[in-house]
């Protein structure tokens, strides 16, 4: 049975989903910046500035990037926000907490980054959260000061109830007792505090990367092994390929998190069968494919490939790769014509215009 607080949080996400992202997820530069950010937030921000993704001197633009961009490491976002107060303030102001209970609002707030650092850093983050929560709920029973106290207490309660390290958990009575006189010398209504306790007990707030693993490669159009031919040196290497959001990524294996290279499909990109189990990716105008690859010491360089020659595991799998890549290219074309057409939502199996 769906709980009331889950409905409130779901309503929040439905409101937010109406706002389209400022950043083009199909931009190859953006994908490279995401990779760099996920290794080092500071270096990622510098690279984003160099690539023209945003102005790194503008905390509002950085905050919008952190808020909008899928695939960013929650750990790196948390570290950056903890060290950059102006960006933290701007980031907090992007949330609309109107009508949410404070624990639900905190759950939404912490879904975007991993809470890290010393107590002083957590205090600063909770202060910014509290300011925005109180601003969004001016008629509520929490002001900035009491909201900050409450937010920190909720984090402590969550740890107490769900860490598994304490033999004796905090009781509802003990939680309520902690707030005696906090509301300008008065007590909060017991029903209000008990509601927070019960919701946190029933639904753990997730703080770390392992609990809320966000990845840029979930739900791909297709993934699997392909043999890739080299460019100038005609070597053949078996790589794990993922087709996602108009890009073809290849990895050393499924266990590796960082791609060895990326090929960005474009509207003039084509794919054709070569024999029974091979296919070629190229641009119709004979220009170089938009690609990047990782070389020694993790350095990323721009590829100079006029084509990519790939070999599938068998004829059936090869034809499926061709069909899916053609579908991704077609989706890019439709997306450029119709803003409402989403690349990620497009399913080529619903169309009957793919070439055999």
Q: Which residues are catalytic?
A: 118
48 vs 110: CA distance, rounded Å? 24
| C-alpha distance from residue 351 to each of 185, 309, 323, 326 (Å) | 66, 26, 11, 11
φ, ψ of residue 97 to 5 degrees: the values are -95, 10
Read off the tokens for 147.
């909201």
Cα distance from N-terminal residue to C-terminal residue, the chain: 47
Structure tokens, 327: 């579908």
Structure tokens at 240: 């794990």
**CB-hemisphere CA count at 13 Å for 202?**
14
Q: How buried is residue 97: exposed, middle or buried, by Cβ count under 10 Å (0-12/13-18/19+)?
A: buried
CB atoms within 10 A of CB 101: 20
66 by Cβ neighbours in 10 Å (0-12 / 13-18 / 19+) ranks as: buried
Residues in the chain, total: 356
Q: Which residue has the tokens 């993704």?
A: 53
Token duo for residue 34: 């995401």
Taking residue 227's Cβ as centre, other Cβ atoms within 10 Å add up to 15
């Amino acid at each position: 049975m769906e709980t009331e607080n889950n409905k409130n949080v779901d309503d929040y996400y439905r409101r937010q989903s109406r706002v389209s992202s400022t950043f083009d997820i199909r931009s190859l530069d953006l994908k490279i910046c995401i990779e760099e950010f996920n290794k080092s937030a500071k270096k990622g921000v510098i690279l984003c500035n160099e690539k023209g993704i945003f102005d790194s001197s503008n905390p509002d633009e950085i905050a919008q990037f952190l808020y909008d961009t899928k695939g960013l490491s929650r750990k790196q976002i948390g570290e950056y926000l903890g060290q950059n107060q102006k960006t933290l303030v701007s980031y907090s102001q992007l949330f609309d907490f109107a009508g949410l209970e404070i624990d639900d609002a905190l759950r939404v707030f912490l879904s975007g980054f991993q809470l890290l650092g010393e107590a002083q850093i957590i205090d600063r983050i909770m202060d910014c959260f509290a300011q925005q929560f109180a601003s969004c709920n001016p008629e509520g029973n929490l002001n900035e000061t009491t909201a900050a106290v409450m937010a920190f207490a909720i984090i402590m309660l969550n740890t107490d109830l769900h860490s598994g390290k304490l033999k004796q958990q905090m009781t509802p009575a003990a939680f309520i007792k902690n707030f005696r006189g906090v509301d300008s010398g008065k007590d909060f209504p017991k029903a209000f505090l008990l509601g927070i306790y019960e919701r946190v007990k029933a639904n753990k707030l997730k703080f770390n990367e392992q609990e809320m693993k966000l990845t840029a490669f979930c739900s791909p159009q297709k993934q699997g092994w392909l043999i890739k031919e080299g460019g100038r040196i005609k070597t053949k290497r078996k790589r794990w390929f993922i087709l996602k959001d108009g890009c073809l990524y290849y990895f050393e294996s499924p266990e590796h998190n960082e791609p060895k290279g990326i090929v960005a499909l474009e509207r003039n990109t084509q794919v054709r069968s070569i024999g029974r189990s091979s296919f070629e990716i190229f641009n119709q105008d004979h220009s170089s494919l938009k690609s990047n690859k990782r070389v020694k010491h993790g350095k990323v360089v721009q590829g100079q490939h006029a084509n990519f020659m790939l070999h599938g595991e068998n004829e059936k799998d090869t034809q499926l790769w061709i069909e899916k890549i053609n579908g991704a290219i077609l989706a890019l074309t439709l997306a450029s014509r119709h803003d409402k057409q989403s690349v990620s939502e497009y399913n080529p199996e619903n169309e009957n215009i793919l070439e055999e």
